[in-house]
Amino acid sequence: GHLDRALGKPAPAPVVKLPRPAILRGAKKHDVTICGAGFAGSVLARQFAEVSGKRVLLVDKRDHVAGNAYDCLDDAGILIHRYGPHIFHTNSDDVFNWLGRFTEWRPYEHRVLAQVGDRSVPMPINRTTLNALYGLNLRSDAEAETFLASQAEPVRDIRTSRDVVVNAIGTELYETFFQGYTRKQWGLDPSQLDKSVTARVPTRTNTDDRYFTDKHQAMPREGYTRMFERMLDHPGIERALGTDFHDLEPADKGGLVVYTGPIDAYFGHRFGTLPYRSLRFRHETLDQPQFQPVGVVNFPAEDVPHTRITEYKHLTGQSHARTSISYEYPSAEGDPYYPIPRPENQELFRRYDALAAAEPGVIFAGRLGSYRYYNMDQVVGQALAIHRRLGARQAVPDVM
């Protein structure tokens, strides 16, 4: 970090004059300019407008708000998530209550099955999974624990996504459920990824077949986009959709900038590109009321190209004669969705983070701005904390 700063700023990039986005011609002066209308940018927009009384300009290059949580009706009138299944879960009362100002909640406990051969078994692995797979009759946590202990292969120094799973449940279960899925999802072997990635998925000795065990598990009753619409419905917030932040002129920006896009893009990729994983979605509507028994079915086999299939009606509770599903195909190309947690990427991120710390009047936030594999609730928590910290320091600059 110190070295980066000592090297000073590189020569400015050549100035390319782009047409000024029409939406900004004659726009009012704003106090705060926010790049990205996902959870990070939208929560901060609301807090700055409502709590700090600031005038906020919220820009997103997409033509909609809600970032990757965006949902909409498809041609059949079924509510789908354009960028893949988003299931809300949190242990934070603060986050749940804050969002609850903008939506009613529909209780929803997510369940996932993994397709292994011609069988569908609960994922995360639980006692039911073990009994089905091995033809066992494990009847208690203690019996399941003993079985898993007989499979586990202790790893002394647990660092990777392979270590953490093999240590807990052994090579056979690791290969069945984690190896192929992870290689497809990340384009890397689990041994090349931080342990934090597969550690997101626990192994259970009971028969709890829910994907999450958080205190709050619910979906916004009318969808995420509707929740964002209400969050952003404030006289202090002006939106510029279909607008790239990098096309703004200095005069368009307020004294404070919040940037929630990819951190390396902000700095013109000057140290090289920070890797993000993308996905391609194949959305389909079928002439049948139901396709699969649960919201998501995972496909850990490496010779199946997709990682999972989502059937949205399970998530949304919508009644409809037809049903819409989507297949996920991981990809290196496309919109950045996932930071890729591994040491060399963290090293590169730290160099950008040092630049970010030295960038006056700019705050970096969200999954892409922080290069952290955050869930939605963590992004909301981070945004609320950022605003609280600035408020405490009264550091929100006035209009330039």
Among 38, 122, 223, 254, binds ligand FAD (CB under 6 A): 38
Among 74, 153, 175, 244, binds ligand FAD (CB under 6 A): 244
What beta strand segments (E) does 88-164 contain? 89-90, 105-107, 112-116, 119-123
The span from the CA of 150 to the CA of 287, in Å, is 46
Residue 88 touching ligand UDP (CB under 6 A): no
Among 56, 59, 95, 168, binds ligand FAD (CB under 6 A): 59
Cα torsion at 9, 6, 359, 61 (round to 10°)?
50
Cα torsion at 290, 85, 223, 235 (round to 10°)?
-160
Site for ligand UDP in 285-304 (CB under 6 A): 298, 300
Nearest to 308 by CA among 113, 128, 83, 72: 113
CB 108 within 8 A of CB 218: yes
The span from the CA of 371 to the CA of 387, in Å, is 19
Least Å from the CB of residue 299 to ligand UDP: 8
Least Å from the CB of residue 179 to ligand UDP: 7
Among 39, 48, 83, 178, binds ligand UDP (CB under 6 A): 178
| C-beta of 164 vs 219, nearer to ligand FAD | 219
Instruction: Name beta bridge partners: 60.
Output: 241
Q: Which residue has the tokens 């028994």?
A: 293
Q: Which residues contact 144 (CB under 8 A, 6 or more apart)?
A: 127, 130, 138, 205, 206
298 binds, among ligand UDP, ligand FAD, none (CB under 5 to 8 A by kind): ligand UDP
Please give the helix or strand (H or E) that residue 250 lies within, else none. none
- Which stretch in 2-10, 125-133, 285-293, 363-371 sits in contact with ligand FAD by CB under 6 A? 363-371
Q: Is 372 exposed, middle or buried (0-12, 13-18, 19+ CB in 10 A)?
A: middle
Among 131, 198, 217, 324, binds ligand UDP (CB under 6 A): 198
Q: Cα separations (Å) of 292 from 90, 288, 295?
A: 26, 11, 7
Q: How many residues bind ligand FAD (CB under 6 A)?
A: 34
59 binds, among ligand FAD, ligand UDP, none (CB under 5 to 8 A by kind): ligand FAD
| C-beta of 40 vs 78, nearer to ligand FAD | 40
- Which stretch in 71-79, 195-203, 242-250, 314-322 sits in contact with ligand UDP by CB under 6 A? 195-203
Residue 312 touching ligand UDP (CB under 6 A): no
Residue 224 touching ligand UDP (CB under 6 A): no
326 binds, among ligand FAD, ligand UDP, none (CB under 5 to 8 A by kind): none
Token pair in block for residue 132: 């089905």
The span from the CA of 232 to the CA of 322, in Å, is 32
Pairing of strands 276-286, 338-339: antiparallel
Among 30, 39, 174, 309, binds ligand FAD (CB under 6 A): 39
- Which stretch in 15-23, 144-152, 198-206, 356-364 sits in contact with ligand UDP by CB under 6 A? 198-206
Residues that bind ligand UDP (CB under 6 A): 114, 123, 177-178, 181-182, 185, 197-198, 200-201, 298, 300
Write out the residues near ligand FAD by the rule CB under 6 A.
35-41, 59-62, 67-69, 83-87, 244-246, 260-261, 279, 337, 366-368, 374-377, 379
